[in-house]
Amino acid sequence: VSGKRQDADNVYRQLLRDTRNTKIITLAREGLRRLQEMELEERQRAISQAKSEPNNTELGVLVLEPLSNEIKTEASLKFAQIMQLDPYTARLILPSRGWRLYRTGQVGELKFYGKQLQQAGIPCFWATIAQIKQIQVYQVKYFQASTPQVTVVCRNEANQLGSLTFDWSEVTARVVGLLPIFEEVVDRDVRGKLERKTQTQDYAQFCDLHIPGRHCILRFDDSGYEFQEGLEIIPQASQNTIRINWNILSSWIDQQLPKVKIWSDFTSFADTTLDQTEMLSHIKSHIHLLRREQTNWDSAFQLYSGLVLLKNTN
């Protein structure tokens, strides 16, 4: 009645532990149930209000950031309470390294939970798919110049060839990742019969440079970069394998951007994302690998890189 719900909760639970009077036990259980019903009703009301605000019905994602093992036990108890989970499950969900895509849905609801988690000291953030879509992605073909300013020859989203000039100081992040290349192979099953199945035959290397001031991503990949064109970064590139050329190019970019953070946890993030087919279907990957069929890996990389840019812009 006085509104001191936490005190009431503590008293009810203490009575359940300490008393053997069945009538008091019944009343304590009813009291706990009333508290839970009140909390659930308030939560539903708050979520409905959050959803009703402008743009809060847009599709979004809620991402959990890694926690150190020292604070994970305490954080998992808070996470369990907020998300109404058991502590064991909560501890398994909270990541120790790399981001984890935890939930998709209307961004108003995700924001509601996200703010509660942040207030409890659990690092997380949210974004809408519309924000990811607004990021410009340019496919870099080669570097044309690197001083006094950098110029790259690239293709825009309409596949038009042009050039873009910028300063190295504009680049705030690098995102690197491997995307699997699938091939259909013929193999024998346990009974010795021939069967067709899809296997990962190789990996394509990707590197994104982020220029948040222009809200754009410059995307490099080992199959699309023209190593023999433009600025001579790799002497005798034609005599090397693609892997060697890519490693030399990556080292050269390292030298130009020694203090820029490299984000390289894409694979672990993808493991939490690939089954979100409906959400990923709304994301244009801007990846042009020759594939026999579409895969969620490409859109997952665009989501990861886009989230890095948005996180560093906010």
Average pLDDT over residues 102-121: 94
pLDDT at 8: 73
Contact (Cβ atoms closer than 8 angstroms) between residue 206 and residue 300: no
Report the candidate in 152, 84, 135, 86 with the shortest Cα–Cα distance to residue 311: 135
Using omega within 30 degrees of 0 as the cis cutoff, is the peptide bond preceding 148 cis? yes
Name the band, by pLDDT with cuts 50, 70 and 90, for residue 77.
Answer: very high
pLDDT of residue 192 exceeding 90, the answer is no
Strands 136-145 and 216-221, by their bridges, are parallel
252 vs 199, which has greater pLDDT? Answer: 252
17 CA to centre of own chain: 43
pLDDT at 40: 67
103: left (phi over 0), alpha (psi -120 to 50) or beta: beta
Residue-wise pLDDT for 48-75, tens only, equals 666 656 668 899 999 999 999 889 989 9
- Residue boundaries of the structural domains of the chain: 1-50, 53-133, 135-313
User: What residues pair up with 205 in beta bridges, in sequence order?
Assistant: 178
28 CA to centre of own chain: 44
pLDDT at 51: 62
pLDDT at 304: 98
Strands 261-263 and 173-188, by their bridges, are parallel
pLDDT at 117: 95
pLDDT at 190: 72
Average pLDDT over residues 104-126: 94
pLDDT at 146: 93
Name the band, by pLDDT with cuts 50, 70 and 90, for residue 186.
Answer: low
Mean pLDDT of the chain: 89
Q: By mean pLDDT, which of 40-44, 94-98, 277-281 is the weakest?
A: 40-44
pLDDT at 48: 63
pLDDT at 47: 61
Contact (Cβ atoms closer than 8 angstroms) between residue 59 and residue 105: yes
- Name the token pair of 273: 């994302």
Average pLDDT over residues 127-135: 96
pLDDT at 307: 98
- Name the token pair of 148: 């006094």
pLDDT at 49: 63
Report the candidate in 63, 100, 94 with the shortest Cα–Cα distance to residue 272: 100
Name the band, by pLDDT with cuts 50, 70 and 90, for residue 43.
Answer: low
pLDDT at 45: 64
pLDDT at 195: 73
- Name the token pair of 135: 């990021």
Contact (Cβ atoms closer than 8 angstroms) between residue 80 and residue 140: no
Q: Alpha-carbon distance 57 to 60, whole Å?
A: 9
pLDDT at 217: 98
Q: Enter the pTM of the model.
A: 0.83
Report the candidate in 295, 281, 289, 313 with the shortest Cα–Cα distance to residue 133: 281
Contact (Cβ atoms closer than 8 angstroms) between residue 227 and residue 234: yes
Contact (Cβ atoms closer than 8 angstroms) between residue 298 and residue 285: yes
State which fold the 53-133 domain adopts. Ribosomal Protein L30; Chain: A, (3.30.1390)
